[in-house]
Structures are given as structure tokens and as C-alpha cells.
């Protein structure tokens, strides 16, 4: 099978590797769709993210869907939760599996991710996809889940007003979720015009340029000078944090979901202190896949329109360059044609799988 491994800054290479064999409690997954996330771009551009640095060639990619090959669930289309918690630590026992200090996460640290043709993954993290949800939509469940977790942390209530600063895919999902949750005014901001247009299409009341002057004037007009009840920062820059703090009213809640390039976030303490703000950090997601799937089934959220570029695995380097240019929204890496994939894995599986597990 082919795997795309990151060897260093901007250095991603295709390798021929053995198809892995599933162990107890795991299934073999034929990967069909992988979204390139902003955190993947940190790995690609910086060979690391935060305090995690590339130590050996790594398969990145954690937004993905696929098909189970072999076993009792053979042929089932699934979205894959990329986080494997330990299940026994205090955060896990408290229901905060996303805060597990021993978590293994696809495409992070030493855990290979999804930019390969096959992988094995724990059965309990494989969520069945209804027929009406495409494989690409299944991969988009991960960023939608992050947005849903951020929304939960914002304690949004019906009738609240909201600001979303940063209109990449997660920010655009947040806009849709806030509208579905009953927000009456949604102020969006982004420096890129095409993302501001996407924000309006996703339900933002107004989409503003991300500079303090025009943003301040637009915010005052949209909120009658009051400011918003909840602010979501989804850009990972100090400028975006400053805009979010400026956007909210006194006593409001600010949710920081962006990941800064240099692992540092700074802001003026006086403005936040005088408003008495509550600042909350987003750590990935926590048990959101079932809810996210139901939202797509009800068409309360549209993720299909957020996928603007598609590439086969053989063009993964080009996919990263396009994602890095930020000329679109979500870049998706998809499987090659079924015939091509069959040529890679069919004989291997037939030889390796127990007779009861062999594909028909």
C-alpha cells in the first residue's frame, strides 16, 4: 500500500509499505477521504505543532472516513474518531476523554494518521455512516465535531449574539451551529474575501474584514454598540484574539480554538480584565461524532459546500501546497479508483485474513 510520510518541513513523500494486520478489538480500514486540517499545515510548514516536534517520518491526517475490510463489519462505511484515550485516567473517568494525558491521536507525535491507503483502528471509534452522508462528509465530521465542542464550551443560549473570528472550515461550521442553536446575530471576521463570502452563505449576519478599524465600526452597527454575548476565536493569531476580546460585552465568554504558530498567545490583559471575561481553551472534541452525524442527517449543517479542492493520494504534496495557499476552504485527499486500490490489497488480504474474514 502507499503511505504519505512527512520527513521534514514541506517534505512529504509517498512510500510503499505493507498492509497492516488488525489485532484484537481493531479493524482494517480502507481510507477513502482525508481532510487537510490547519493543524496538519502546522506539521507540514513547521515539522511540528506546539511542543510536539517531528522525530521520525510521520503519516499525518486525522480527518477521515473509510470502509471496513474483513471481519463481521466488512464493507461498512465509517467515520473514524482519531483520538484513542487511555480510558482509565482521571479525565477519562470524568468523561473528558479529549483531555487524556496519555491519548494517542492520528497523525500526531508517533501515531501514524490517515494519509495512507489502509490503517487499523479500534472498533469503538468507528462510527457508521448513513447512506446519505458521503465519505468526504464523513471526513468533515472531525472539524464539525471540534466546532460542536467549541459551541458547548461557549454555553450558547437561544437569543444570544455571537462573534466568530476566523472563517476557515471550523469557523464556518461554528457559524452554522450558532445559527441552528438560536443565535440572533452572528458577526464574522476574516482577512480573506472569499472566506467572508462563505461566512455569509453559512448564515453570518455580517462578515467583516479582520482589521480593528472596519471591524469595530461594523460590530457597533450589528450589535447597537452592545457587543456580543459569546466570542469564538478560530484563527490562531494574536490579532484574532484581540478582535474577539474587543467584540464581546462585559461579563461575556471567549472561546479560543485557534492554534498559534509559535505556541504562544498574547493579548492586552487590561481590556479582558475590565470586562471580566471568561476565557476557555478548546482541546479537540469530546464525544461529538453521534451528534454531528445527526446534524448532517437533519441537514442542520452543510459541510459538503466547504470542500473546495480534491486530490488523489498520489498528488498529496500538491494538495498541501493548495491548502497552504488558502485560496479555497477545505482540501480533501481521496482514494484512487477502486480498481487501483484492489490491485494493492486484494491478494494481501486474501492470503493474510482468516477464511471467515476474507472479503467476498
pLDDT score at 355: 36
Tell whether 254 and 207 lie within a shared domain. Answer: yes
Q: Give the separation between CA 191 and CA 207, rounded to whole angstroms.
A: 10
Quote the cell numbers at residue 285: 472534541
Tell whether 168 and 272 lie within a shared domain. Answer: yes
Is residue 122 included in any domain, yes or no? yes
Is residue 74 included in any domain, yes or no? yes
Tell whether 109 and 150 lie within a shared domain. Answer: no
pLDDT category at 337 given cuts 50, 70, 90 is: low
pLDDT score at 338: 54
Tell whether 117 and 20 lie within a shared domain. Answer: yes
Is residue 174 included in any domain, yes or no? yes
Tell whether 24 and 108 lie within a shared domain. Answer: yes
pLDDT tens sequence across 237-282 = 999 999 999 999 999 999 999 999 888 999 999 999 999 999 999 9
pLDDT category at 346 given cuts 50, 70, 90 is: low
For residue 15, the domain's CATH number is: 3.90.180.10
Is residue 287 included in any domain, yes or no? no
Quote the cell numbers at residue 319: 494538495
Evaluate if residue 130 carries a pLDDT over 90: yes
Helices (H), 56-161: 90-93, 135-153
Is residue 268 included in any domain, yes or no? yes
**Whole-prediction pTM:** 0.92
pLDDT category at 336 given cuts 50, 70, 90 is: confident
DSSP-derived 3-state class of residue 235? coil
Number of domain units in the chain: 2
Provide the residue range defining the domain that includes 176.
145-281
Quote the cell numbers at residue 60: 499525518
Domain boundary among 251, 281, 311: 281
Q: Which of 65, 237, 45 is nearest to 139 (CA)?
A: 65
Q: Give the separation between CA 32 and CA 333, rounded to whole angstroms.
A: 8
Share of the chain above pLDDT 70, in %: 93
Average pLDDT of the residues in 150-178: 98
pLDDT category at 347 given cuts 50, 70, 90 is: very low
Evaluate if residue 91 carries a pLDDT over 70: yes
Tell whether 110 and 180 lie within a shared domain. Answer: no
Is residue 288 included in any domain, yes or no? no
Average pLDDT of the residues in 332-344: 68
Poorest-confidence range of 101-105, 143-147, 225-229, 352-356?
A: 352-356
pLDDT category at 186 given cuts 50, 70, 90 is: very high
Amino acid at each position: 500500500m502507499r503511505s504519505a510520510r512527512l520527513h521534514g518541513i514541506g517534505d512529504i513523500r509517498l512510500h510503499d509499505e505493507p498492509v497492516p494486520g488488525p489485532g484484537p478489538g481493531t479493524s482494517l480500514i480502507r481510507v477513502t477521504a482525508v481532510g487537510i486540517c490547519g493543524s496538519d499545515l502546522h506539521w507540514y510548514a513547521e515539522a511540528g505543532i506546539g511542543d510536539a516536534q517531528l522525530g521520525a517520518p510521520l503519516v499525518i491526517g486525522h480527518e477521515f472516513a473509510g470502509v471496513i475490510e474483513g471481519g463481521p463489519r466488512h464493507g461498512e462505511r465509517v467515520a473514524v474518531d482519531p483520538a484513542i484515550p487511555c480510558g482509565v485516567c482521571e479525565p477519562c473517568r470524568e468523561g473528558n476523554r479529549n483531555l487524556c494525558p496519555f491519548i494517542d491521536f492520528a497523525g500526531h507525535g508517533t501515531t501514524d494518521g490517515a494519509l495512507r491507503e489502509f490503517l487499523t483502528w479500534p472498533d469503538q471509534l468507528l462510527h457508521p455512516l448513513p447512506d446519505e452522508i458521503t465519505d468526504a462528509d464523513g471526513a468533515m465530521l472531525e472539524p464539525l465535531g471540534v466546532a460542536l465542542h467549541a459551541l458547548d464550551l461557549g454555553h450558547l443560549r437561544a437569543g444570544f449574539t455571537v462573534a466568530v473570528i476566523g472563517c476557515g472550515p471550523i469557523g464556518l461550521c461554528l457559524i452554522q451551529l450558532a445559527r441552528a442553536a438560536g443565535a440572533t446575530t452572528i458577526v464574522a471576521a476574516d482577512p480573506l474575501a472569499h472566506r467572508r463570502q462563505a461566512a455569509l452563505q453559512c448564515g453570518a449576519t455580517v462578515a467583516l474584514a479582520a482589521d480593528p478599524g472596519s471591524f469595530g465600526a461594523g460590530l457597533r452597527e450589528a450589535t447597537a454598540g452592545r457587543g456580543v454575548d459569546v466570542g469564538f476565536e478560530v484563527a490562531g493569531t494574536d490579532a484574532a484574539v484581540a478582535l474577539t476580546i474587543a467584540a464581546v460585552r462585559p461579563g461575556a465568554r471567549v472561546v479560543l480554538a485557534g492554534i498559534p504558530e509559535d505556541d504562544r498567545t498574547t493579548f492586552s490583559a487590561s481590556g479582558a480584565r475590565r470586562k471580566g471575561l471568561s476565557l476557555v481553551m478548546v482541546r479537540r472534541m469530546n464525544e461529538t461524532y453521534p451528534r454531528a452525524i445527526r446534524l448532517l442527517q437533519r441537514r442542520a449543517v452543510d459541510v459538503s459546500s466547504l470542500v473546495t479542492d480534491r486530490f488523489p493520494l498520489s498528488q498529496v504534496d500538491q494538495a498541501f501546497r493548495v491548502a497552504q495557499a488558502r485560496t479555497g476552504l477545505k482540501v480533501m485527499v481521496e482514494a484512487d479508483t477502486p480498481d487501483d486500490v484492489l490491485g494493492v490489497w486484494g491478494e494481501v488480504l486474501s492470503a493474510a485474513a482468516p477464511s471467515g474474514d476474507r472479503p467476498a
